[in-house]
Chains A and B, each alone.
Chain A
Amino acid sequence: MSLNSIGYLFREAGRSLSRNSWMALASISTVTISLFVLAVFVVVSVNVNHVTTILQNQVEMRVFIKPKVPRSEEMAILHQAQHWPQVRRIDFFTKQQAAQNLKSEFPDQSGLFQVISKSNPLFDGLDVYTKAPQQIPVLAARFSRMPAVHNVVYQGMVVKRLTRLGHILKWTGWIVEGLLGVATLLIIVNTIRLAVFARRREIQVMRLVGATDWFIRWPFIMEGLTIGLVGAVVADVVIGVGYRWVLNRASVSLPFWPMAAWHPVVVETTVFTVAGGLAVGAVASIIALRRFLKV
């Protein structure tokens, strides 16, 4: 395709979009809404993955020891475990220390601490740090087999649940996106069809003077791609601004919650929305042209 034709292509796509500006606006907003929903799913997924990764990197496990076990036996367990090969570090804490920690973590819950200080329901225990995260389940099993141990809590369970949540989110996202995608597709197909209909005289003349089929089709495909791309850009701007706002709010009201940083999140959503927008635009124009231009 020559340079002349490429110039022609862009002129025609622009001319057609401005001529049917209301229909173009309708399809662009539909694309924007669908892609916005897609982007929200991406943002949430990225955040869930972010938390999962952070938790996976915190190599920590907490072993609670049954009440009424004498301190000497607790110390025996501590010294025994210190020599296990997987253990990097191990700290003993009493239930009084546990209560103190709780108090400093949640300074507003004074009512709760009055109850705790009267009869402390917490356990003595051990904070165990492993050398590698995959050793946690092995170590946890070993501790659990000890008769004095009440139970073992480690992040692995949380990580597992978060991973499952991530999967569910992903699948829900794909299904919702699939439905929205079909709706968007239909709207764009209609827009392109109207554009073809509006230009049927031009198309007839083009065919009679020997324009090739692809020369006739390209402006409409360009139009579909433009609708998809503009929709994606609008969705990205909204998401970019919106996520920055969420981050600012979160830093105030959830200061310890680990949020994924702005830049990688927006890069990820942009990749998804631009790819999605272009794909739906291209597929829609090809469907529209198949039904209209039986050339």
Chain B
Amino acid sequence: MIRLDGVTKRYANGHQGLTEVSLTVHRGEFVFLVGPSGAGKSTLIRLLYGEERPTQGEVTIDHFRLKKLNMRQLPRLRRQLGIVFQDVKLLPTRTVFQNVAFAMEVVGASRKDIMKRVPQVLELVGLSRRRDHFPNELSGGEQQRVGIARALVNQPSYVVADEPTGNLDPDTAAEIMKLFQEINRRGATVVMATHAKDLVNQLQKRVVAIEGGRIVRDEARGAYGYES
């Protein structure tokens, strides 16, 4: 379970990213974060994976309390999370397979587990044929699939995505969104900040709208609700 309790995030330069935000996401949910640029969606996502710490209030993910999370606990939290970015962050000198395997290597997985698990996730994201290609040989959509495979390979309970379809054309974005649905169907909790209006409307999932650092709307089977 993810819980935000009266969370305020003020940056060192005085900018207030979030103000008194409270939100609960249960296991297995699929939540869209929507709102204009600069509303605080990214701040919220970054709080979830411990890149930012709340100024006031508390963020809790399972038993992790993020406000005072120490440097030993942060890696443990991150192993429960799969993080997907708009700018994928693939390693250009490694192949698709190596990029995904890297995430397992650095948490100390065995060669045997890596050889077994990586092909499974590549199969899931539909990139089995591309395993030995380098990122620059892939389309934007394929690159994002590699990013998703990397996020999933350590079997996280939560998948956190910051505009994963932001750089993609509508058809590709729809494909990626289907993939997230599939991930959610297999049991992972998904929290996604997005501007993809049509897809949000189409999927009929919970929608949390943020404006000026506050939650202004939280609907169980919501719509995007903004003119994009």
A residues adjacent to B (C-beta < 8 A): 1-2, 4-5, 8, 201-202, 204-213, 215-216, 295
Contact = CB atoms under 8 A, between A and B. Distances in A.
Interface string B81-95: 101000001011000
Given A205-B103, A209-B78, 4 more contacts: A5-B108, A202-B102, A210-B75, A215-B108
A295 B81 CA distance: 18
10 contacts: A4-B109, A4-B111, A202-B102, A204-B89, A205-B91, A210-B76, A210-B79, A211-B107, A212-B72, A212-B75
B49 interface: yes
B112 to A, nearest CB: 9
Interface string B119-141: 00000000000000000000000
B165 interface: no
B89 A206 contact: no
A110 B150 CA distance: 91
Nearest to A209: B103
A212 B72 CA distance: 7
Interface of B: 49, 71-72, 75-79, 81, 83, 89, 91-92, 102-103, 105-111, 150, 154
B66 to A, nearest CB: 14
Contact of A213 (B71, B76, B77): B71
A207 B74 CA distance: 9
B138 to A, nearest CB: 17
A289 to B, nearest CB: 13
A208 B111 CA distance: 21
A41 to B, nearest CB: 42
A211 B106 contact: yes
A295 B91 CA distance: 20
A5 B49 CA distance: 24
Nearest first, the 3 A-B pairs at minimum CB distance are: A210-B78, A210-B79, A211-B106
Contacts of B92: 201
Contacts of A216: 106
A211 B102 CA distance: 10
A201 B106 contact: no
Contacts of A5: 108
Contacts of A201: 89, 91-92
A5 B106 CA distance: 8
A213 B102 CA distance: 16
Contacts of B103: 205, 209
Contacts of B150: 205, 209
B98 to A, nearest CB: 11
Given A4-B108, A201-B91, A207 B71 contact: no
Nearest to A3: B110
A204 B106 CA distance: 12
A253 to B, nearest CB: 58
Contacts of B105: 4, 8
